[in-house]
């Protein structure tokens, strides 16, 4: 087969590396057609598509940056609102604690005032009961002493004035003897 190829090349009579003129003209014409089609029609379309894609990508990047900046701003605003809400909640808790302490103090003061009033009322009642008991005791002692004196003396001490003087004198003697014992 090699021999056949070398034989064919010898018959053509020229250098197999140099093309024929008509092939060279057709090749140059085809190259120029392809060059014109690619250079004038396809290259602007490709450039236009590349520019659009570049703008779309840059626009997308810008939109993403804008969205990220907006998200950062919203996050900061949210954190600020959260901090403010926490501060407000802390302030409200402190106010409630203060109000609770104030109400507690007021209730304690009212309870102490009520206790003082009850103690004073009890003292007053005790003093009144004591005075009443003392008056009843004095009357009973007077009646008993009059009856006893009447039995001892043998005469009736029914006279009201005489009875009162005797009772008063007996009670004075009784008080002076109890004061001397103290």
Confidence grade of residue 178 (pLDDT, cut at 50, 70, 90): confident
Better-predicted residue by pLDDT, 34 or 162? 34
Can you give the pLDDT at residue 15? 76
User: What's the Rg (C-alpha) of the chain?
Assistant: 66
Confidence grade of residue 142 (pLDDT, cut at 50, 70, 90): confident
**Helix spans in the chain (H):** 2-12, 21-36, 43-153, 160-181
Cβ 168 vs Cβ 147: under 8 Å: no
Query: What are the Cα distances from residue 150, in Å, to 51, 135, 144, 159, 167?
Result: 144, 22, 10, 11, 12
Rounded to an integer, the average pLDDT of 67-95 is 93
- Spatial separation of the C-alpha atoms in residues 59 and 55, rounded to whole Å: 6
Chain centre distance of CA 25: 91
- Spatial separation of the C-alpha atoms in residues 146 and 170, rounded to whole Å: 10
Does the reported pTM lie above 0.85?
no
Q: Up-side HSE of residue 62: CA atoms within 13 Å toward CB?
A: 6
- Spatial separation of the C-alpha atoms in residues 71 and 33, rounded to whole Å: 54
pLDDT over 90 at 83, yes or no: yes
pLDDT over 90 at 79, yes or no: yes
Which of these ranges, 13-27, 40-54, 136-150, has the smallest mean pLDDT?
A: 136-150
Which of these ranges, 67-81, 100-114, 163-177, has the smallest mean pLDDT?
A: 163-177
């Amino acid at each position: 087969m090699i021999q056949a190829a070398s034989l064919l090349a010898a018959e053509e009579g020229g250098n197999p590396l140099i093309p024929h003129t008509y092939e060279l003209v057709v090749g140059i014409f085809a190259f120029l057609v392809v060059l014109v089609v690619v250079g004038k029609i396809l290259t602007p379309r490709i450039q236009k598509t590349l520019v659009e894609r570049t703008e779309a990508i840059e626009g997308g990047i810008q939109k993403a940056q804008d969205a990220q900046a907006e998200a950062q701003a919203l996050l900061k605003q949210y954190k600020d609102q959260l901090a403010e809400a926490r501060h407000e909640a802390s302030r409200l808790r402190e106010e409630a604690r203060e109000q609770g302490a104030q109400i507690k103090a007021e209730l304690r003061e009212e309870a102490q005032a009520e206790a003082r009033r009850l103690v004073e009322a009890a003292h007053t009642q005790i003093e009144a009961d004591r005075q009443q008991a003392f008056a009843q005791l004095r009357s009973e002692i007077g009646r008993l002493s009059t009856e006893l004196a009447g039995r001892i003396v043998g005469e009736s001490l029914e006279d009201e004035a005489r009875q009162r003087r005797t009772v008063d004198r007996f009670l004075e003697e009784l008080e002076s003897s109890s004061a001397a014992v103290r």
